[in-house]
Amino acid sequence: MISVRVTQGSSNHTKAEATIYFVPESFDFAQYCGEFAKSNCSFLQQLMEKHRFTGSLGSELAVPIERQGVVSYALFVGLGKALSNGSIPVENMRRAVGTAIKKSMALKSESCCINVPDAGLFGVSEGYLVEQIVIISNMASYHFNEFITDANKKFSLFEIVLCGTAGDCTESIKRGEIIAKGVNTARHWIDLPPSDLTPPQLADKARAIAKEYGLAIEVFDEKKVNSMGMGGLAGVARGSDNDCQFVILRYTTAKKDAPTLCFVGKGITFDSGGLSLKPAQSMETMKEDMAGAAAVITAMQIIAQLKPDVNVIGITPLAENLPSGKAIMPGDILNFYNGKTAEVKNTDAEGRLILADALAYASLECKPDMIIDIATLTGACTVAVGPFYIAMVSQHEELKERVKASSRATGERVWELPMDEDYRKAVASDVADVANIGASQYRASTITPAFFLQEFVGQTPWVHLDIGSSAYNTPDISYLRPGATGVGVRLLVDIALQWR
Ligand code: BES
Ligand code: ZN
Ligand code: ZN
């Protein structure tokens, strides 16, 4: 984590190794480039013209400067154009912060000073802007490097000094740090090799978080899962030597009669496909298949610290999906926690099998006011919405609106897919209550699993989020890098914080 502090002084007087100026497209030089620009006016203007630096989104210009006898950089970063309403989208600021941090690190700056632009430029409050700067700076500087032994390939940014803020930013910085730490923790778990993060190891991490942040926790091991009749989770885990785990984290608000929200995250620590084995290339990134569980556990970590006025329960079924002489077979019929049965037609559609027990447990035992599940559920999600969106499937209009509002507030983009009744027949089975894959003529394989999952939520308002395309290797976003994105963490946290 980067340490962030505020200075009331001018950025000219910090010892930061890079000083960042954010400038809108076709900017006013004197207004945006600060004191440094005033004393280097014609030189800087020439340089910007020469490099055709106009402030367009994604652009940057690093100017080496000497400060108190030490090499430093003035780094100009473009914010892009304002919309027709006159304000610049906050996402432009997030991208610009990502660009600035990546560039500072490439320049080997261990500390940088950020001149915080006027929040009015984005139509937001200063507190929110500062919080976003803190979150994104930390996301941009994340690097999964613990297995890299070459010291030249590792570099850390240690300190950010914020300049030019008007109000007291202490709370916003703290919130930003809490959220960023959660997001980067999720990314770290997802990036860990699957042999270093088995279901019992991930359950241990949840235990450590419960202890550190004061959450209640219950963990059911494989024996208990079996005895409770969770045949979906137990079935998927049968092929693996590692025990499955069922983790329940609880945050309880001090407020009386508060509603209860339930988050359920898919936690397949490795998905080989089982006997319906995946081809080698599709298996390469399947350590990402616990990204939903990681999002739920780390959202709980954040919620424990930000303390919203709602009760929140985070449930994560954890298992490995491997083939072996003990593994479930296509044709098997499984019995779930709510008494329903499912025909397994394809052992690679395992996510819905473990989620089924978790959703049934959530609705029957927790009686929550709503359930949101988050899962790297389908490869088809990549075709449906691609790497920049979470796919949302639900028949509950009001809950979908809440998710969309939090999507706008956090910048975690959500796209709704239709859950029309026409698709329901896709998961009909001749021999059980439901089948675990959709019949081929219905296609739409990011939509049809929602009808499978719906069998297990009863009447509870429920939204299904598929992060199959956005949890890993999202390209081109300046504050991400190859590997885990941490998608969903900020969204879930905001839903809990905004709940009224
Ligand atoms: N974990 C995969 C989905 C996935 C694929 C996530 C690629 C992220 C990237 C899931 O368990 C799976 O294998 N789904 C199958 C379902 C099919 C058998 C109906 C799929 O999407 O191909
Ligand atoms: Zn699978
Ligand atoms: Zn899977």
Maximum C-alpha span of the chain = 80
| Each residue's pLDDT tens digit, 286-342 | 999 999 999 999 999 999 999 999 999 999 999 999 999 999 999 999 999 999 999
| pTM listed for this prediction | 0.98
DSSP 397-422: HHHHHHHHHHHHHH---EEE----GG
pLDDT for 169-216, tens place per residue? 999 999 999 999 999 999 999 999 999 999 999 999 999 999 999 999
Residue 45 confidence (pLDDT): 87
255 is catalytic: no
Secondary structure (DSSP) of 139-168: HHH----TT---GGG-----EEEEES--S-
The 8-class DSSP code of residue 369 comes to S
Angle at 197 between CA 199 and CA 249, to 5 degrees: 50
DSSP of 297-359, one letter per residue?
HHHHHHHHHH--SSEEEEEEEEEEE--STTS--TT-EEE-TTS-EEE-S-TT--HHHHHHHHH
Nearest Cα to Cα of residue 293 among 277, 276, 271: 271
Residue 377 CA to ligand 2 centre (angstroms): 8
Across-strand partners of 416?
392
pLDDT tens for 14-70 read: 789 999 999 999 887 777 776 777 777 788 889 999 999 999 999 999 999 888 788
**pLDDT attached to residue 483:** 98
- pLDDT of 26 reads 82
Site to substitute for ligand 1 among 345, 348, 441, most atoms within 8 A of C-beta: 348
> Which pLDDT band, with edges at 50, 70 and 90, does 9 fall under?
confident
Give 289 Cα–ligand 2 centroid separation in angstroms.
8
Using CA positions, which residue lies closest to atom 22 of ligand 1?
379
Residues pairing with 342 in the sheet: 334, 434
Give 46's strand partners.
Answer: none
Residues in contact with 42: Cβ distance below 8 Å, sequence separation at least 6, in sequence order:
none
Q: How far is the CA of 204 from the centre of ligand 1 (A)?
A: 26
Give the amino acid at 311.
N
| Cα–Cα distance list, 370 to 196, 200, 315, 458, 493 (Å) | 33, 28, 13, 11, 14
Asked whether 452 and 434 are in contact (CB, 8 A), the reply is yes
The dihedral formed by the CA atoms of 38, 51, 67 and 5, expressed in degrees to the nearest 10: 90
Mean pLDDT of the chain: 96
**352 tagged catalytic:** yes
> For residues 75 and 19, is the Cβ–Cβ distance under 8 A?
yes
Tell me, what's the pLDDT at 44?
87
Average pLDDT over every residue of 221-245: 98
pLDDT of residue 29: 76
Secondary-structure breakdown of the chain: helix, strand, coil percentages, each rounded to the nearest 5? 40, 20, 40
pLDDT digits (tens, 9 = 90+) for 443-457: 999 999 999 999 999
